[in-house]
Amino acid sequence: MWKSVSQVLADQLGAYYNIKEKDKVHTGEMHEAWVINDGIQPVFLKLNEKSYRSMFRAEADQLQLLAKTNTIHVPQVYGVGCSQNHSFLLLEALKLAPVTKEQFAEFGKALATLHKRQGSERYGLDYDTWLGPVYQPNEWRENWATFFSDQRIGWQLQICKEKGLDFGSIKVIVDTVAAKLAKHRPQPSLLHGNLWIENVGSVDGKVYAYDPACYWGDRECDLAFTELFEPFPDEFYENYDRTFPIDENYASRKPVYQLYYLLNFSHRFSGHYVPLAKRLVELLLDDKI
């Protein structure tokens, strides 16, 4: 397997990559992670079974898509590859530090600049992605309410049901979300899609975002997730708003967008996320949000 890794890096870097150090590091729910080094260029390696190659390819494509916008900083992609039994993703190894308020302010401007970039008149993406380890469909739609209610809320509710979590009638909840968003027709923005405090860090004074779940959608979805668990500092939102003013009705839609992430966390982690999601569903159905 390590020979395959060296070969992919050699193709990318233009010289044979002789792995001298391999340090296993803690990562998320499903992949092994290593930092490897040839004494010159450290590389971050995500590793899993061979069947995960499409997931790694999608992550690489999303990072490269975001990088091409020249707005927010993301890890450089060195390649995706396979050995006989494994697949892997090779990324720039980042020595992450906590993000300061000043850096968050600059990140707010960068994210707003990303969201202002136009590139699609529809909602979705040319390929499907993952939110954490969970498949995220991105079939193109002309209507935002239809896209979000079906491919976000309805999709997560179905997964919850299959895992024994009952939030009520899926059709009723989906229809209620669609009605809530029916008059909202946002200009599609390229979203990071998985933007919360765990997926950002500082490198040399710059904020890097990673583990994306991209698609073209309502920019408010990114903002809503940043506020859900541990909100970013006020400086982030102030600078975002200065660069790309936030719609005055955002607050009324924010809980609907946060429901998507709470449903995702409910069937992944259970715990206190389930009652939080149930409470949002109750408020939604009672027309209190």
Per-residue pLDDT at 192: 98
Instruction: Report the pLDDT value the prediction gives residue 160, as an integer from 0 to 100.
Output: 98
Portion of the chain with pLDDT greater than 70, in percent: 100
pLDDT given for residue 15 in this prediction: 83
Nearest to 116 by CA among 188, 208, 66, 213: 188
> In whole angstroms, what is the distance from residue 172 CA to residue 135 CA?
23
Indicate whether this model's pTM tops 0.85. Answer: yes
pLDDT digits (tens, 9 = 90+) for 254-282: 999 999 999 999 999 999 999 999 999 99
Give the pLDDT score at 14.
Answer: 79
Q: How far apart are CA 130 and CA 212, in angstroms?
A: 8
Q: pLDDT at position 1, please?
A: 87
SS (H, E, C) 51-88: HHHHHHHHHHHHHHHHHCCCCCECCCEEEEEECCCEEE
pLDDT in tens, 119-148: 999 999 999 999 999 999 999 999 999 999
Query: Over 80: is that where the pLDDT of 189 sits?
Result: yes
Taking all residues of the chain, what is their mean pLDDT, rounded to a whole number?
96
- pLDDT, tens digit, 9 for 90 and up, residues 71-85: 999 999 999 999 989
Share of the chain above pLDDT 90, in %: 96
Tell me what the mean pLDDT of segment 173-191 comes to: 98
Q: Is 15 helix (H, G, I), strand (E, B) or coil?
A: coil
Task: Dump pLDDT digits (tens) for 13-53.
Answer: 878 899 999 999 977 778 999 999 999 999 999 999 999 99
- Cα–Cα distance for residue pair 126/137, rounded to 1 Å: 10
Using CB atoms within 10 Å of the CB of residue 205, give its burial: 0 to 12 exposed, 13 to 18 middle, 19+ buried: exposed
Would you state the pLDDT for residue 78? 97
Q: What is the pLDDT of residues 82-96, one digit of tens each?
A: 998 999 999 999 999
